[in-house]
Structure 1
Amino acid sequence: MNAELDTIVIGGGQAGLASGYHLQKKGLRFLIMEASDEVGGSWPLYYDSLKLFSPARFSSLPHLKFPGDPNGYPRRDEVIQYLKYYQEKFQLPVRINQRVTLVEKDGDGFMVRTMAGDTFRSKTIINATGSFHTPYTPAIPGQESFQGHILHSSEYRNSEPFINQRVLVVGRGNSAVQIGVELAEVSHTSLAVLRPVQFMKSMLLGQDLHFWVKTIGFDSFPFWRFGKTAPSSGSVIDSGGYKEKVLAGKPDQQPMFTSFYDEGVFWANGTKEAVDTVIFATGYRPCLPYLQAIGALNTEGRPVHQAGISLVPGLYYVGLEGQRSFASATLRGVGTDAQFVVKKLLHHLKIRSVHS
Structure 2
Amino acid sequence: MSILQSVVIGAGQAGLSASYHLKRLGIEHVVLDANEHPGGAWQHRWDALTMRDVHRVAELPGDVQPAHDGRRANQAVPAVFAAYERAHALPVIRPVAVDQVTDDDGLLVVHADRGTWRTRTLVNATGTWTRPFLPHYPGMETFLGEQLHTVDYPGPEHFAGKRVLVVGGGASAVQFLGALAPITDTLWVTRRPPVWRTDDFTPEAGAAAVALVEQRVAQGLPPESVVSVTGLVLRPQEREAERLGAYAARRGMFQSIEPDGVRWADGAFEQVDVILWATGFRPAIAHLAPLHLRSPQGGIRLDRNGRGTTAVADPRIQLVGYGPSASTIGANRAGRSAAKGVQRSLDGLEAGIEQSISVIA
TM surpasses 0.5: yes
Q: Give 1:348 shift.
A: 1.3
**Contact preservation (8 Å) 1:12, 1:33:** yes
C-alpha spacing 1:142/1:225, structure 2 compared with 1 (3 Å) = closer
Q: Deviations over 1:249-271 (max 9, x none)?
A: 24642332221222111234432
| Whole-angstrom CA distance in 2 between matches of 1:349 and 1:163 | 56
User: Cα distance 1:73–1:305, how it changes in 2: closer, same or farther (>3 A)?
Assistant: farther
Distance in 1 between residues matched to 2:116 and 2:76, nearest whole Å: 34
Paired with 1:174 and 1:223, the residues of 2 have a C-alpha distance of 17
TM-score (norm 1): 0.85
> How much has 1:274 moved relative to structure 2?
2.0
| Partner Cα separation in structure 2 for residue 352 and residue 67 of structure 1 | 40
Q: What does the per-residue CA deviation read over 1:64-91, in whole Å, with 9 as the maximum and x for residues that have no partner?
A: 121225x999834322222222212211
Instruction: Output the CA distance in 2 between the equivalents of 1:332 and 1:62.
Output: 13
**Kept in 2: contact 1:130–1:321 (CA 8 A):** no
CA gap 1:181/1:223 in 2 versus in 1, 3 angstroms = closer
Report the equivalent of 2:337.
Answer: 340
Q: Give the conservation status (yes or no) of the 8 Å contact 2:109–2:117.
A: yes
Deviations 1:292-336 (A, max 9, x none): 1121234676434332211113111111132xxxxx223342222
Partner SS for 1:255: coil
Cα gap change, 1:142 to 1:164, in 2 (>3 Å): same
How much has 1:171 moved relative to structure 2?
0.8
Aligned counterpart for 1:330 among listed residues 321, 327, 332: 327
**1:81 and 1:27 mapped to 2: Cα distance?**
26
Contact residue 55 and residue 328 of structure 2 kept, 8 A: no
- Kept in 2, the 8 Å contact 1:59–1:332? The answer is no
Establish whether residue 246 from structure 1 lines up as the match of residue 242 from structure 2.
Answer: yes
What does residue 320 of structure 1 align with?
A: 322
Tell me the residue number matched to 1:10.
Answer: 9
| Partner residue, 2:310 | 309
Contact 2:181 2:244 in 1 (8 A): no
- Report the Cα distance in structure 1 between the residues aligned to 2:319 and 2:272, rounded to whole angstroms: 42
Is the contact made by 1:61 and 1:331 (CA closer than 8 Å) also made in structure 2?
no
- Note closer, same or farther for the CA distance 1:300–1:275 as it changes in structure 2 (3 Å cut): farther
Out of 96-105 and 156-165, give the one that drifted further. 156-165
Once residues 213 and 278 of structure 2 are traced to their aligned partners in structure 1, the CA distance between those partners, rounded to angstroms, is: 27
What residue number does 2:357 align with? none
Distance 2:183 2:240 in 1: 17
Is the CA contact 1:263–1:275 (under 8 Å) kept in the aligned structure 2?
yes
* Mapped partners of 2:264, 2:243: distance in 1: 20
Structure 1 residues 35 and 302: CA distance shift in structure 2, 3 A: farther
Please tell me whether the aligned partners of residues 53 and 237 of structure 1 are also in contact (alpha carbons under 8 angstroms). no
Q: In the alignment, which residue of structure 1 is the partner of 2:36? A: 37
Instruction: Report sequence identity in percent.
Output: 29
User: Who is 2:26 aligned against?
Assistant: 27
Q: Would you identify which runs of 4 or more consecutive aligned residues in structure 1 move more than 6 Å?
A: 71-74
Give the TM-score of the pair, scaled to structure 2: 0.84
Q: 1:287, 1:301 within 8 Å by CA — same for their partners in 2?
A: no
Higher deviation after alignment, 22-31 or 76-85: 76-85
Q: Which amino acid aligns with 2:189?
A: A
More displaced stretch, 309-318 vs 45-54 = 45-54
Residue type matched to 2:104 in 1? D
Q: Deviations over 1:33-81 (max 9, x none)?
A: 001101222111222223565655x851111121225x99983432222
What is the one-letter code of the residue matched to 1:262?
Answer: P
- Counterparts in 2 of 1:269 and 1:128: CA distance versus 1, 3 Å: same
Specify whether residues 289 and 299 from structure 1 end up closer, same or farther in structure 2 by C-alpha distance, changes over 3 A only: farther
Deviations 1:173-232 (A, max 9, x none): 10111112212233211111233433224x64xxxx234536xx5477697589367864
CA gap of 1:313–1:234, structure 2 versus 1, over 3 A, is: closer
Separation in 2 of the partners of 1:162 and 1:87?
37
Partner of 1:325: none
Does the CA contact (< 8 Å) of 1:246 and 1:253 recur in 2? no
Output the aligned Cα RMSD.
2.9
Kindly tell me: are residues 353 and 65 of structure 1, through their superposed partners in 2, closer, same or farther at Cα, counting changes over 3 Å? same
Query: Which amino acid in 2 is paired with 1:265?
Result: V
Offset of 1:32 from its aligned partner?
0.4
Distance 1:153 1:95 in 2: 28
Q: Which amino acid aligns with 1:9?
A: V
Q: How does 1:291-302 map to 2 (within 5 A)?
A: 291-298=288-295, 302=299
The CA deviation string for residues 88-119 of structure 1, in whole angstroms up to 9 with x for no partner, is 22111111111111211123221111122x11
Q: Which runs of 5+ in 1 are unaligned?
A: 323-327
Number of aligned residue pairs: 340
CA contact (8 A) 2:310 2:318 kept: yes
CA–CA distance in 1 between the matches of 2:32 and 2:7? 7
The 1-side partners of 2:55 and 2:132 are apart by: 27
Of 128, 131, 136, which residue of structure 1 is paired with 2:133? 136
